[in-house]
Amino acid sequence: MRKMKKNLVIKNLLIWSSVFILLLALAGCGGNPPQPEGDINGTDENGEGQDAIDETNGDGEEQAAAGTKIINIGVLRGPTGMGAVKLMDNEKYNITLLGSPDDLVGKIITGELDLAAVPTNFAPILYQRTGGEIKLVALHTLGILYILENGTEIETIGDLAGKTLHISGRGSIPDYVIQYLLKEHGLVPGEDVILDFSAQHADLAAMMTAGQRDLALLPQPYVTSVLMQNEDVRIALDLTQEWRSALNSELPMGVLIGQKDFIVNNNSALKAFLADYEESIRFVNTNVEEAAELIAEYQILPNAQIAARAIPFCNIVYFDAQDSKESLDNFFKILYDLNPESIGGTVPDDEFYYVPAP
């Protein structure tokens, strides 16, 4: 195992208590760590939490011993990992595919990962808990949330008045996004619109598929799975579009973060990776069928058919930290107003955002 960064040694003496404290911080107001959407919801492709998979593209230590700097990167199943699929067999990168954000958090805190693709609100939490030793490097996933309807009544957010909307993950990003949008349209969550959190994503998707629920807020790729199996269900509202209309800003749901020491000491390697990462994202968006086969091959999604249908709706993008800073700041301020602990207790300062070295 590679050596720990020097300024993390003292922290690692208390690593298990640090992990425990961080997971408590992630709990928000719901008592459990927030579950980021799709993969970004703390679940695998079947909607169930799982242990770390640790599927990698090679032995990073052997390659490092040969004199090549290997970058250790963590990604999640689902949209968070889809953009990196073209890099999975690149010998310069030791990519670990994980099934749960909690598994990712532990590897970030211990310094096992140089870079990691995480749910957006995890980034400021980790920044606060590591004393600024984490930086936000890039934005890679915009909104992947959709309201599905088994019917034709819902055309606007206002049409949700008097309805029950089924949703998973109290205290997670989907919860905060729909709360904000309802309030923007003069609706009181829990009164004008009942939010039912009783089912997890996989169960809720199955219920929509079976026609047992009329309205559900789901992330990709669950949305695509339901639509492929029940032709009576439709996308009633794209919450990414609703967010843009309400704020004239993007809905940032997945970001790339990096260890500060790695960023400072590996400027050229980081720049090369970011160029490769941007190219991989471009590949996924422009070569859908080929990318879908790779996504299935690496088990990021369960099969190529779902991947091919889901890619156009996953909003996989590449924006560097400075270009996405305004949207991210807006998002963090909204989350802070809804629940300060959802982002670690404070809106991150400018030092949080990576600025490329000359």
Name the strand (E) or helix (H) holding 140.
Answer: strand 134-141
| Bond preceding residue 34 cis, omega within 30 of 0 | no
Q: Is the pLDDT of residue 28 over 50?
A: no
- Domains of the chain as residue ranges with CATH: 6-143+251-352 (3.40.190.10), 145-247 (3.40.190.10)
* Average pLDDT across the chain, whole number: 83
What is the model's pLDDT at position 32? 36
CA dihedral 274, 276, 282, 288 (to 10 degrees): -130
Local confidence band at 358 (pLDDT 50, 70, 90 cut-offs): confident
Mean pLDDT, range 214-228, rounded to an integer: 95
Mean pLDDT, range 185-205, rounded to an integer: 95
| Strands ordered across the beta sheet of 115-119 | 93-98, 71-76, 115-119, 254-259, 134-141, 316-320
Local confidence band at 8 (pLDDT 50, 70, 90 cut-offs): very low
Mean pLDDT, range 10-16, rounded to an integer: 37
Per residue in 267-323, pLDDT tens?
999 999 999 999 999 999 999 999 999 999 999 988 999 999 999 999 999 999 999
Taking residue 49's Cβ as centre, other Cβ atoms within 10 Å add up to 15
Q: Of the ranges 48-57, 74-83, 179-188, 275-284, which one carries the lowest mean pLDDT score?
A: 48-57
Do strands 134-141 and 316-320 pair parallel, antiparallel, or not at all (unpaired)?
Answer: antiparallel
Q: Which among 283, 343, 352, 317 has a CA at the least distance from the CA of 125? A: 343
What is the model's pLDDT at position 68? 60
Q: What is the model's pTM? A: 0.80
CA distance 179 to 26: 19
Local confidence band at 78 (pLDDT 50, 70, 90 cut-offs): confident
Q: Which among 144, 338, 347, 108 has a CA at the least distance from the CA of 253? A: 144
Q: Which among 339, 345, 347 has a CA at the least distance from the CA of 170? A: 339
Residue 257 · residue 101 · CB < 8 Å: no
